[in-house]
Amino acid sequence: MNGELTDILDLPPIIRIQFLCVISHILALFNKKGLITKNY
């Protein structure tokens, strides 16, 4: 997992931001379906 995270950090900032946006959208979709409970 750590290797994947460092690969993401090596990407250009714009691509990194888009990638994070996509991840947050996916997490939001899962959250609506109740598959993920966030502990924030």
At 9-19, the pLDDT tens digits run 677 888 878 88
Decide: 39 and 32 in contact? Cβ < 8 Å. Answer: no
Residue (of 17, 26, 24, 25) closest to 9 by Cα position: 17
pLDDT in tens, 1-40: 566 666 766 778 888 788 889 999 988 888 787 765 655 5
Task: Report if residue 22 sits inside a domain.
Answer: yes
Looking at residue 8, its pLDDT comes to: 62
Task: Report if residue 28 sits inside a domain.
Answer: yes
Looking at residue 10, its pLDDT comes to: 74
What's the total number of domains in the chain?
1
Decide: 18 and 25 in contact? Cβ < 8 Å. Answer: no
Provide the residue range defining the domain that includes 23: 2-32
Whole-model pTM: value is: 0.47
